[in-house]
A and B are shown apart, each in its own frame.
Chain A
Amino acid sequence: QVQVVESGGGVVQPGRSLRLSCAASGFTFSSYGMHWVRQAPGKGLEWVAHIWYDGSGQFYADSVKGRFTISRDNSQNTLYLQMSGLRVDDTAVYYCARDQLSYFDFWGQGTLVTVSS
């Protein structure tokens, strides 16, 4: 069955960097675009970034543009989110989700990133 599992979250100081990973299985990873979506504690959902199936296109929310980089390794069925210049308001659960052009059909359980001094 389709499965995506995030990892790499933790506690990090403001201004530092962190890389999240998302391991995919149960589907042909290289045929699908992928996304990162986050949810601050007690808040709603916020789309963060999207990457095309072959990695040739990347798109970002304005709130993370220039600080976050989405990438993928299709040989390893893995999606990444490199986060730099982290801010307190980046604290959230980060979800990996599979793309179906206009919506997200499968989501992982998320990984918590806490930015705090």
Chain B
Amino acid sequence: EIVMTQSPATLSVSPGERATLSCRASQSVGSYLAWYQQKPGQAPRLLIYGASTRAAGIPARFSGSGSGTEFTLTISSLQSEDFAVYYCQQYTNWPPMYTFGQGTKLEIK
């Protein structure tokens, strides 16, 4: 089973600054990597898929990069609504398996 490890567990950043979140896979997942945002009491929302493609309606300040085992989610200029928990997720094609990282909590500094 592929293990996804996110770092840091908590990231404190001031509004307007850049945030960089990391996700590492225990073995290569190619570009089968997605990022989700979750706010308290809400369902997760898809941000990025295919490691770097923004989902519909996601602001351009969100960007994803990486392939293989190392991935990054960057939020270029933090807005108040961006403070949330972020999860990465990988996909294995056969048998289909999906694994999430443990999450990074992005909090206001």
A103 touches B46 (CB 8 A): yes
B1 to chain A, nearest CB (A): 8
Q: How many A-B residue pairs have CB under 8 A?
A: 57
0 or 1 for each of A90-117: is its CB under 8 Å from B? (1 = yes): 0000010000111111111110000000
Q: What does DSSP make chain B's interface, helix, strand, loop or mixed?
A: strand
Cross-chain contact A105 with B43 (CB below 8 angstroms):
no
- Residues of chain B lying within 8 A (CB to CB) of residue A27: none
A44, A59, A100: which contacts B96 (Cβ < 8 A)? Answer: A59
Specify the chain B residue showing the minimal Cβ separation from A110: B43
Asked whether B87 is an interface residue with its Cβ less than 8 Å from the other chain, the reply is: yes
Whether A72 sits at the interface, judged by CB under 8 Å, is no
Across-interface contacts of B55 in A (CB, < 8 A)? 105
Residues of A within 8 A of B44 (CB): 45, 95, 104, 107
Q: Is B45 an interface residue (CB 8 A)?
A: yes
Could you mark each residue 87-99 of chain B with 1 if its beta carbon is under 8 Å from any beta carbon of chain A, else 0? 1010101011111
In the complex, the answer to whether B43 meets A95 with C-beta atoms within 8 Å is yes
| Contacting residues, chain A, for B100 (C-beta < 8 A) | 44-47
Q: Chain A residue with minimal CB distance to B46?
A: A105
In the complex, the answer to whether A103 meets B95 with C-beta atoms within 8 Å is no
CB–CB B102/A44 < 8 A: yes
Say whether B25 faces chain A, with CB atoms less than 8 Å apart.
no
Of residues 38 to 58 in B, which have CB atoms within 8 Å of A's CB atoms?
38, 42-46, 49-50, 55
Contact A103/B43 with A45-B100, A59-B95 known, Cβ cut-off 8 Å: no
Which B residues are within 8 Å of any A CB, using their own CB? Answer: 32, 34, 36, 38, 42-46, 49-50, 55, 87, 89, 91, 93, 95-103
Interface of A toward B, CB cutoff 8 Å: 35, 37, 44-47, 50, 59, 61, 95, 100-110
